[in-house]
């Protein structure tokens, strides 16, 4: 284990790395601002997407993919919004916009940007599906909370690549969970860093808390049902279904127990079927 001074210095460097996070683009900021608005219209969301030609092109490419199976060609964003609905198109656009943020960040050898993006997307989609069924508070923030819950891992990989490798090695040796390994090597955890990043971006409190507590959701609101419980479940479900960033060591949370904890065990088939359809249609673009 590193000397204590080294761990303290490493933690300080990781926290300073928060200042190097890329800012949200104007389009991403405006899309996020529509999440809590019940009166947002098709036209408003379409106008935002249309103002970014790369984003609009990616959206139309997905909508016209064979997996969606629409007859004819969808050749306008407004048509795409009308077919898929505001929420699904907004989530897709948020996913594309966030993934594009990371493209300019240097990453170490062994880090897979595609696995990170696909895991984040899988957790966002699963969280959105679960939040509606579980009756969790602030369900409108579930997709964004899932999409950004592991930003702390990216901060570790880019700010302390040697520490990231050491954590992974310690995990492979077994005998400790991920957060304990991170505390030993880094002096902090990716979950704490995620919460700090989400706070730096001034995202709503439930989303920030979900980042901080997505491994220990009972701490978010003294055990009461919280968005963090949804992200915890969605994260484990995504990993169990094979959509993980790296080697997945947590074998304690089986699919059935995760659904049961949210009170949606009777909806397992519909949740998994809807997830697989939606995720399959977009994962190749991330």
| Domain-embedded: residue 246 | yes
The gap from C-alpha 168 to its chain's centroid, in whole angstroms, comes to 20
- Cα dist from 254 to 75, 259, 265, whole Å: 42, 9, 12
* Residue 149's CATH number: 1.10.3210.10
| Domain-embedded: residue 13 | no
Please compute, for residue 99, the number of CA atoms within 13 A of its CA located in the half-sphere on the CB side. 26
DSSP 138-195: SGGGHHHHHHHTTHHHHHHHHH-HHHHHHHHHHHHH-SS-HHHHHHHHHSS-HHHHHH
Confidence of residue 248 (pLDDT cuts 50, 70, 90): low
User: What one-character DSSP code corresponds to residue 268?
Assistant: H
- Asked whether residue 166 falls in the same domain as residue 269, the answer is yes
> Which of 50, 75, 104 is the C-terminal boundary of a domain?
104
> Residue 1: is its pLDDT beyond 50?
no
- Asked whether residue 61 falls in the same domain as residue 129, the answer is no
- Asked whether residue 117 falls in the same domain as residue 90, the answer is no
pLDDT tens column, 234-245: 999 899 888 988
pLDDT at 83: 81
pLDDT at 249: 58
pLDDT tens column, 106-150: 888 778 888 999 999 999 999 999 998 998 899 999 999 999 999
> Which of 104, 134, 162 is the C-terminal boundary of a domain?
104
- Asked whether residue 56 falls in the same domain as residue 168, the answer is no
Domains of the chain: total:
2
| Domain-embedded: residue 12 | no
Task: Collapse the DSSP code of 267 into the 3-class scheme (helix H, G, I; strand E, B; otherwise coil) and give the result.
Answer: helix
Cα–Cα distance, 119 to 286 (Å, whole number): 10
Confidence of residue 70 (pLDDT cuts 50, 70, 90): low
- Asked whether residue 117 falls in the same domain as residue 156, the answer is yes
Confidence of residue 73 (pLDDT cuts 50, 70, 90): confident
> Which of 87, 104, 121 is the C-terminal boundary of a domain?
104
> Residue 284: is its pLDDT beyond 60?
yes
pLDDT at 71: 67
Mean pLDDT across the chain, nearest whole number? Answer: 86
Report the pLDDT averaged over residues 96-100: 91
> What residue numbers bound the domain in which 272 lies?
109-286
Lowest mean pLDDT among 63-72, 77-86, 221-230, 262-271: 63-72
| Domain-embedded: residue 221 | yes
Provide the whole-model pTM. 0.90
Please compute, for residue 187, the number of CA atoms within 13 A of its CA located in the half-sphere on the CB side. 15
- Asked whether residue 72 falls in the same domain as residue 150, the answer is no
Which token pair is 230?
């949804």
Residue 186, number of CB atoms within 10 A of its CB: 24
């Amino acid at each position: 284990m590193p000397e204590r001074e080294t761990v303290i210095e490493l933690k300080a460097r990781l926290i300073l790395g928060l200042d190097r996070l890329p800012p949200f683009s104007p389009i991403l900021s405006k899309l996020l601002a529509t999440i809590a608005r019940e009166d947002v219209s098709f036209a408003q969301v379409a106008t935002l997407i249309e103002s970014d030609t790369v984003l609009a092109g990616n959206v139309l490419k997905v909508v016209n993919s064979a997996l969606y199976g629409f007859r004819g060609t969808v050749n306008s964003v407004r048509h795409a919004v009308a077919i898929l609905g505001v929420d699904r198109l907004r989530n897709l656009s948020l996913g594309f916009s966030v993934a594009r943020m990371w493209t300019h960040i240097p990453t170490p050898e062994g880090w897979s940007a595609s696995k990170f993006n696909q895991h984040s997307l899988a957790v966002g989609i699963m969280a959105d599906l679960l939040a509606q069924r579980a009756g969790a508070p602030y369900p409108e923030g579930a997709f964004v909370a899932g999409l950004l819950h592991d930003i702390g891992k990216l901060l570790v990989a880019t700010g302390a690549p040697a520490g990231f490798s050491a954590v992974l090695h310690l995990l492979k040796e077994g005998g400790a969970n991920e957060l304990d390994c991170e505390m030993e090597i880094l002096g902090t955890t990716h979950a704490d860093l995620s919460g700090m990043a989400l706070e730096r971006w001034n995202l709503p409190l439930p989303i920030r808390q979900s980042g901080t507590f997505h491994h220990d959701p009972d701490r978010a609101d003294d055990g009461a049902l919280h968005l963090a419980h949804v992200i915890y479940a969605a994260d484990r479900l995504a990993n169990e279904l094979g959509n993980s960033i790296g080697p997945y060591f947590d074998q304690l949370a089986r699919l059935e127990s995760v659904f049961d904890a949210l009170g949606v065990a009777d909806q397992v088939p519909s949740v998994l079927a809807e997830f697989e359809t939606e995720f399959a249609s977009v994962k190749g673009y991330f």
